[in-house]
Amino acid sequence: MGNELKAIIFDFDGVIAESVNVKTEAFAKMYNQYGNEVVKKVVTHHLSHGGISRFEKFKLYHKELLEIELTNQHLQELANRFSELVVKKVVDAPFVPGALEFIQGNYKYYDLFISSGTPENELKEIMIRKKIYNYFISIFGSPDKKIKHVTTIKKRWNYKQKNILFVGDARSDYEAAKKSNIMFIYRRNTESEEFILDDRVITIADLKIFPTIIERIFDKD
């Protein structure tokens, strides 16, 4: 079929695992020493810019809110502390309803990928510990941005745009899909950032209905 689905790119936090709140709490804890107003601004920005590298956020928050220019060493120290706060909690976080069942039941039929703002090595460790690493063709994280992830996937595996689907819960996911001219499905949750979606974008509450959505979109011929 011309519109056959061949590859699915998933964001991780908020799409595979219910772990968005883990990252939010970690950012709040790391800036707690600077007072409630700073914490409030950090959390608001974080929730409005999901999928962006923590390195970029630390540099921004320190510069804009604290007037501190981070050295590379200090930036790495912050990132290491953040990892210590979040890894075990993300591993322990429940799967988004329907996510694990879809992955286990469909990895033989579709090429599955991850595109995340989490550092790649950390993400791979989390997925190994959650026992889902081997279901995915490849896993992409920071420092590369999501648009580069998608471009690499298309080129390396020779997919046509109409044969790829991106499932995400953040503006960065939507923009990467839109710029790449591939289909996007938006997973909305209680911590999803609010932004304007194209009228054609399908919104889902979880992944339990995902197989039905795929069948409706792609099995038209």
Query: What is the average per-residue pLDDT within 59-67?
Result: 96
Predicted TM-score (pTM) of this structure: 0.89
Query: What is the average per-residue pLDDT within 58-83?
Result: 95
CA nearest neighbour of 141 among 113, 169, 164, 162? 113
Q: How confident is the model at residue 52 (pLDDT cuts 50, 70, 90)?
A: confident
CA nearest neighbour of 16 among 165, 168, 173, 211? 168
Under 8 Å between Cβ of 132 and 16: yes
Q: What is the chain's percent helix, strand, coil content, to nearest 5?
A: 50, 15, 30
